[in-house]
Amino acid sequence: MKRRSFLMASAIMASTLAVPVAVQAATPDDQLVIATNMSSMRGLDPNELNQLEAAEIVANLYERLIIVSADDITKPQPGIAESWTVSDDGKTFTFKIRSGVTFHSGNPLTANDVEWSLRRLVKLGLAPSVDLRQWGITDKNVDELIKATDDTTVVLQMPEVWNPNLILFSLASFSTSILDSKLLAENEKNGDMGREFLQTNDAGSGPYSLKTWRVNDLLISDAFKDYWQGTPKMRRVILRHMPESSGQRLQLEAGDVDVATRLSSTDLAAIEMGGKAEIQKTPGFGFYYLALNQKDEILSNPRVREAFRYLIDYDGLANTVMKYYGIKQQTIIPGGLPGALNETPYKLDIEKAKQLLAEAGYPNGFSKVYYATPVTPEYEVAQSLQANAAKAGIKLDLQGGDHIGKFRNREFEIFSARTGERLPDPHAVLASYATNPNNTDDAKLAGLIAWRSAWEVPKNIQDMVTAAAHETDQQKRADLYAKINKAYLEASPALVTSFQRTDAKAVRKEVTGYVGHSTWLTRWDTVSKGD
């Protein structure tokens, strides 16, 4: 009897669990559900994070002085600053702060909040603080350089003259978001300027406010009814952590999510075939690159460097593994920016590579250790290069794993990965790829990948990069960048660029207004469904 009851109970439980129920699909019309991978998100403090997924959230919880819209990233537009002027000497920026803007807390947004927020970014000195520090603003001079002169005016003094767009673009970055200084003062702990509070709360004035945030699980944000540009159409935006690409795809196809952001090329292709969603390829300001350590005698030979450019199967990769992840690009200024060139003079040519190796004195090739990030598509690109190099006599010992530390310390032979800058200006990429003011190990300029590669960038290129950053005439500047681009291509650089990165997302067809942003600031308040 007891056994029968036991078996019966088991059967009932199983049937309860396995009962086939028609499961509701399709997200509500007034809610946007985004599938994403939250594994690498580090809190939600705009002055601390440095990561694409978190930047998109911050872009919608907070606002900035300047807006760079997705459809024209080259033009700074008024955001919280309704207008601005630049002094004749190019050093003083005066911003008029929009009145009537309130934070989610109900506190009014004033010039004092702007002053406090920008100073906080510099004083904390964390990774995104480079957005202001690169222009000479330091924790020592920031109180003098950034000042609110009254409730609606903020003045920024630059230590030297820079192209005004560089400053304005920096003020459009997620890192320069305006924080509710009053709320953060109330929630300060041990002088942390609200750091602990901001990890899991928001102090913004953006179109959405944070409702729920469970790390590696779920984020819910609700439309801010008092948003100064009007209440957004989507009442709620939900981000779900889905680490598996195939899981994201299935849920997108079933209508349980509206946008899938981390998909493998196989799943992207399947979604494209399925016809329920569109694939957005947003160009980013960075490259898939190959770094050849110039401290190595063989790799520092210009002909060897040139040979590597003929060992990459640009076309083959572009049609397969890189179809969704990159756009073929062999020059150093990303497409869409001033000075960009549409030249792709290199193609896979094993014989040419062999000839260059012979001229360099290595007719029988050589062996090198090759570090590559073991993720798609970097590793597949590396495997392709390894196979082609073998045909030219170069034996590459391909090693996956986390070797970024060795790369930063110049302890490698060959390394490949990808970069991504956030400033919609050629300077951001060039500062890293084409300047290296001190090539000694002690300089520790680990923020520059030219230094990491120990590459003595030709002086004329470095001088032009510096001059262009300070040039205030936009046309002269664009001409200068075109020159830099050509000079870089001809220099047989130690950093071989093959593809400009693109970030691919799948968006269901009934969703409109969700537009991938090159500087990671995709907006949700422009989204609507079924219109």
Should residue 246 be labelled a site residue for another protein when binding is judged by CB under 8 A? yes
Toward another protein, which CB reaches closer, 181 or 248? 248
Q: What is the largest CA-CA distance in the chain?
A: 96
Exactly one of 101, 223, 242, 332 binds another protein (CB under 8 A); which one? Answer: 242
Query: Where in 126-165 is the site for another protein (CB under 8 A)?
Result: 126-127, 129-130
Q: Which tokens sit at 366?
A: 């050589």
Backbone phi, psi, residue 245, to 5°: -60, -45
* 138-142-148 Cα angle (round to 5): 160
Count residues near another protein (CB under 8 A): 71
- Smallest gap from Cβ 494 to another protein, in A, equals 17
Should residue 273 be labelled a site residue for another protein when binding is judged by CB under 8 A? no
- Smallest gap from Cβ 471 to another protein, in A, equals 24
User: Of the listed pieces 37-45, 83-91, 111-119, 289-297, which binds another protein according to CB under 8 A?
Assistant: 37-45
Should residue 459 be labelled a site residue for another protein when binding is judged by CB under 8 A? no
User: Of the listed pieces 80-88, 148-156, 359-367, 441-449, which binds another protein according to CB under 8 A?
Assistant: 441-449
Toward another protein, which CB reaches closer, 267 or 306? 267
Which is nearest to 171 in space by CA: 226, 117, 231? 117
Should residue 211 be labelled a site residue for another protein when binding is judged by CB under 8 A? yes
Exactly one of 57, 97, 238, 304 binds another protein (CB under 8 A); which one? Answer: 238
Toward another protein, which CB reaches closer, 33 or 80? 33
What is the SS3 assignment for 132-144?
Answer: HHCCCCCCCCHHH
User: Of the listed pieces 45-53, 74-82, 271-279, 358-366, which binds another protein according to CB under 8 A?
Assistant: 45-53
Toward another protein, which CB reaches closer, 142 or 389? 142
- Smallest gap from Cβ 217 to another protein, in A, equals 4
Kindly give, in sequence order, each residue whose CB lies less than 8 Å from that of residue 506, ignoring residues fewer than 6 positions away: 249, 252, 259, 260, 263, 268, 271, 277, 278, 279, 280
Toward another protein, which CB reaches closer, 152 or 199? 199
Structural element, H or E, at residue 449: helix 449-452
Query: Where in 73-92 is the site for another protein (CB under 8 A)?
Result: none
Give the whole-angstrom CA distance, residue 59 versus residue 451: 32
Give the whole-angstrom CA distance, residue 100 versus residue 439: 51
Exactly one of 185, 218, 369, 387 binds another protein (CB under 8 A); which one? Answer: 218
- Smallest gap from Cβ 162 to another protein, in A, equals 18
Should residue 26 be labelled a site residue for another protein when binding is judged by CB under 8 A? no
- Per DSSP bridges, beta strands 326-328 and 495-508 are antiparallel
* 46-48-50 Cα angle (round to 5): 85
- Smallest gap from Cβ 525 to another protein, in A, equals 19
Toward another protein, which CB reaches closer, 263 or 311? 263
In the chain, % helix, strand, coil (3-state, to 5) comes to 35, 20, 45
* 85-88-92 Cα angle (round to 5): 55
- Smallest gap from Cβ 131 to another protein, in A, equals 12
- Beta carbons of 95 and 114 less than 8 angstroms apart: yes
Should residue 510 be labelled a site residue for another protein when binding is judged by CB under 8 A? no
Should residue 51 be labelled a site residue for another protein when binding is judged by CB under 8 A? yes
Query: Where in 180-199 is the site for another protein (CB under 8 A)?
Result: 196, 199
- Beta carbons of 123 and 113 less than 8 angstroms apart: no
Toward another protein, which CB reaches closer, 9 or 467? 9
**How many Cα atoms sit within 13 Å of 480 on the Cβ side?**
21
Give the whole-angstrom CA distance, residue 77 versus residue 400: 43
Should residue 437 be labelled a site residue for another protein when binding is judged by CB under 8 A? no
**How many Cα atoms sit within 13 Å of 369 on the Cβ side?**
11
User: Of the listed pieces 55-63, 315-323, 445-453, 501-509, which binds another protein according to CB under 8 A?
Assistant: 445-453
Exactly one of 125, 230, 345, 363 binds another protein (CB under 8 A); which one? Answer: 125
Q: Which tokens sit at 118?
A: 């920008």
Query: Where in 250-269 is the site for another protein (CB under 8 A)?
Result: 250-251, 253-254, 256
CA 72 and chain centroid, separation:
17
Exactly one of 149, 216, 320, 438 binds another protein (CB under 8 A); which one? Answer: 216
Should residue 247 be labelled a site residue for another protein when binding is judged by CB under 8 A? yes
- Beta carbons of 285 and 424 less than 8 angstroms apart: yes
Give the whole-angstrom CA distance, residue 184 versus residue 93: 26
- Smallest gap from Cβ 50 to another protein, in A, equals 4
- Smallest gap from Cβ 376 to another protein, in A, equals 16
338 vs 10, 76, 243, 350, 474, CA distance in Å? 69, 15, 37, 33, 9
Toward another protein, which CB reaches closer, 374 or 393? 374
Give the other-Cβ count within 10 Å of 208's Cβ: 26
Query: Where in 351-410 is the site for another protein (CB under 8 A)?
Result: 401-402, 404-405, 407-408
Exactly one of 106, 243, 336, 345 binds another protein (CB under 8 A); which one? Answer: 243
Toward another protein, which CB reaches closer, 240 or 328? 240
